[in-house]
Amino acid sequence: MHRLSALKPDIISGFLVFLIALPLCLGISLASGFPPTGGLITAIVGGMLVSLLGSAKLTIKGPAAGLIVVVIGAVTELGGGTVGYKRTLAIGVVAGILQIILALVRSGVIGELMPSSVVHGMLAAIGVIIIAKQSHVAMGVKPEGKEPLHLLAEIPQSLSKLNPEVFFIGIVALLILFGLPMIKSQWARKVPGQMVVMAVAIPLGLLFDLEHEHTYNFANHLYHLSPDFLIRLPASMLSAIAFPDFSMITSAVSIKYIVMFALVGTIESLLTVSAVDSIDPEKGTSDLNRDLLATGIGNTIAAAIGGLPMISEVVRSKANLDAGAKSRWSNFFHGAFLLAALMFIPGLLQEIPLAALAGMLIYTGFRLASPKEFVHVYKIGPEQLLLFCTTLIITLATDLLIGVGVGLMLKLLLHLIHGAPVRSLFKAIVQEDRQGDTLVLRVHDSAIFTNFLGLKNRLASIPDGVRKVVVDFENAWVVDHTVLEKMHRIGAQWADRELVLQGFDNHKAWSNHELAARRRVTRAGAL
């Protein structure tokens, strides 16, 4: 009885997260070119299995909107339909094994090395792509275009051809999701917007009789409705399971997507773990390598039975924390509730209109590409906005891998232009000086994202008895935003010692932001 009482907060938070996750798993799966059950399989494995393998205790594992673009790209390029789906499952299995290898060689720090402006630019691009694709679904129209920029350009045309009743469901979903946070009451903050959408959209679907194929007249125009506008689930749990097709696994396309699955999934997941750690009231610090190992095992198993790639998902993890979760059992119970829903209420799930799921994904896409993101990045510094926008635009015009690659190369180029010596691009040059209970680390040449790991390792191996660590940047020509942001987070997590950053008297900041990038100047001007 005592054990059950101790688990009560995790059962409650797990149930609340389940309410959010259920429609999102279905929507993300469909948007990714997978059967709707693909997202549920992943969340069930991520909750009930990965939570027991030592994943970060307060994060929720499952499919994420951030991977929609990568997955649908793989499905499409590998043949589309069932063929592309099963070949993409094979990519998921290999990418999961790659994540396991990365964890075993302790590469969990990869998330620490990614510049936030490039990551946010990538996520903003994903948000724009989601909006471009799902806007047509919310209008009940099949677009002709396939590429993001074409889909965006086609939105006005789809508006002229929209299906009024389908569009009404999509608009209601968006009004609920955008309007609910504006209500200044306690109940509105506690009720998941996604479940309110379901509570309204399912009756609307029944009212419009989406279950039966028919036509209706609106403004002297005939429109067609059918079960194609609803979720379709398999007849049984066993028929929901699908197995990978490895016939194309050594092709160039498969190798490209293996890298993208592993890279984007690992980065997103590790960033989420770090973000959740930073807002954890108990200020816990997760083992990134252990979490990556658990995620890799979960991905391998999920893909082997028909599931989407999984990550530590930020929205559900934040909701989990806000709901009062105390341990990784909340993730377990969220998965258990999803399994129960799939087993016992499949009929109800099949009444969910696709337009409602599209509205949820459009809302998620807007949050990823919110105008506030542009403003936030600009406040940190104009060079951060340049990196953000470059990554976003190149990703929209090409793909995620190229977009991120160009963003990283541009950031390195900017560091070289601003005076970072080539010899310090990948090696931190740090001089240590112990003075009683104070340790001074003097950084020479540069402190940038590509050499941050060396500095981080010094901070992770502070000798016993040190109560204050001073990092002096006086002799560093360039100190970038990524380094300052990561060090600020490290200092916030220290409970028994103080971290002080100094030596900026001869540096010029790119903006008034406390974590803005800095470059050293001479009396004659900037180098």
- pLDDT single digits (tens) 151-199: 999 999 999 999 999 999 999 999 999 999 888 887 777 788 999 999 9
Q: In 180-327, where does DSSP find H-type helix?
A: 186-190, 193-207, 237-240, 252-279, 288-304, 314-322
Q: Please give the Cα distance from 160 to 169 (Å, whole number).
A: 17
| Cα separation, 190 vs 21, whole angstroms | 15
CB burial string 467-505: b at 16+ within 10 A, e below: eebbbbbeebbbbbbbbbebbeebbeeeeeeebebebbe
Phi and psi angles of residue 437, each rounded to the nearest 5 degrees, phi first: -95, 15
Greater model confidence, 502 or 54: 502
Q: What would the pLDDT profile of 99-117 be if each residue is shown by its tens digit? A: 999 999 988 777 767 888 9
Q: Which of 84-93, 276-285, 396-405 has the lowest mean pLDDT?
A: 276-285
pTM for the model: 0.90
Give CA 115 to chain center in angstroms.
15
Is 335 a residue whose pLDDT tops 60?
yes
Residue 524 has pLDDT above 60, yes or no: no
* CB-CB contact of 167 with 138 (8 Å): yes
Where do we find the tokens 């340790």? 439
Average pLDDT over residues 473-496: 90
* 418, pLDDT greater than 70: yes
Helices (H), 323-470: 329-344, 346-349, 354-368, 371-380, 382-397, 400-417, 452-460
Is 73 a residue whose pLDDT tops 90?
A: yes
- In angstroms, the CA 154 to CA 148 distance is 10
How long is the chain?
527
Mean pLDDT of 58-73: 92
Cα dihedral sign, 372-374-379-380: positive
Spatial CB neighbours of 192, under 8 Å, sequence gap ≥ 6: 16, 19, 20, 319
- Is the Cβ–Cβ distance between 86 and 244 less than 8 Å? yes
> Can you list the domains of the chain with their CATH numbers?
7-113+140-364 (no CATH), 422-526 (3.30.750.24)
**For the chain, what is the mean pLDDT?**
91
Joined tokens for residue 98: 């790659």
How much is the pLDDT for 308? Answer: 97
Closest to 314 (Cα-Cα) out of 259, 365, 274, 283: 274
Distances (CA, A) of 16 to 51, 65, 319, 340: 17, 19, 8, 14
Q: Average pLDDT in the 415-436 region?
A: 91
Distances (CA, A) of 300 to 180, 304, 305, 342: 37, 6, 9, 21
Coarse DSSP helix, strand, coil percentages of the chain, rounded to the nearest 5 percent: 60, 10, 25
- Quick one: DSSP state of residue 426? S
- Is the pLDDT at 526 greater than 60? The verdict is no
Q: What pLDDT is stored for residue 324 in this prediction?
A: 85
CA distances in angstroms from 91 to 42, 81, 88, listed in the order given: 15, 15, 5
Q: For residue 498, list its beta bridge partners.
A: 468
Give the per-residue pLDDT at 3: 62
Asked whether the predicted pLDDT for residue 5 surpasses 90, the reply is no
Give percent above pLDDT 70 in the chain: 97
pLDDT tens digits for range 258-288: 999 998 899 888 888 877 876 677 766 788 8
Compute φ and ψ for 244, nearest 5 degrees.
-70, 155
Residue 247 φ/ψ, nearest 5 degrees: -65, -25
